[in-house]
Amino acid sequence: MLYTIDISTLREKIIDKTLYHDELKLYLRSISIKDSDYAHYCSRLGDLYRINGELILAKLYLKNAEEALKYQPNEPLSFLTELRLAIVYQWEQDYEESEKLFDSLEAKAKGTLEGLVYQHRALMEYERNNLWLALNYFEKARRLRLDDKELLSYIDMGIHRVKMLLKLK
């Protein structure tokens, strides 16, 4: 596994730098040819750079992915790239821009994707210290993610952390 969730920040934290750098190199080599997977590789690079805190590079690759998706539309990848960009804005503490993207994503999301949006929206509200709203989004995400044990454990970690801060049982 490449990362874990930091219990106090609820953000991803790289635990295996070698694996991280290997994956980064793989995607950087893969984008040298602008083939049909170029947007996918750029979107993933944006995610990897964000997790490492390199937000300028993260935005650059996510914007490259968005541009490529104009010419080779892929609705699920466009959605995921937009979500990744919302998270980058959140990490930059540009909550206004992040919130706009989350609002757009919530309006479009269905099923599993809806749970993913709620989970990350909860994290943004947690960072903004909107704890009751964060708890609401975490609980919505939990109801929609019951089939994914790993993500469910992250959501439960968030619920536990928020309840602890609110002094709830």
CB 46 within 8 A of CB 30: no
Compute the distance between CA of residue 131 and CA of residue 123 in angstroms, rounded to an integer: 10
What pLDDT is attached to residue 97?
Answer: 97
Domain boundaries, the chain: 1-94, 109-169
How high is the mean pLDDT in each 10-residue block of the chain (169 residues)? 89 95 95 90 98 98 97 95 98 97 95 90 97 97 86 93 91
pTM for the whole structure: 0.94
Distances (CA, A) of 86 to 13, 59, 65, 163: 18, 10, 14, 25
What pLDDT is attached to residue 168?
Answer: 86
What pLDDT is attached to residue 16?
Answer: 95
Alpha helix stretches (DSSP H) within the chain? 17-30, 38-51, 55-71, 75-91, 95-108, 112-127, 131-144, 149-166
In the block, residue with structure tokens 């989970």: 119
Backbone angles phi, psi at 12, to 5 degrees: -65, 145
Which option is the CATH number for 1-94: 1.25.40, 2.60.40, 1.10.3470, 1.10.10? 1.25.40
Compute the distance between CA of residue 64 and CA of residue 60 in angstroms, rounded to an integer: 6
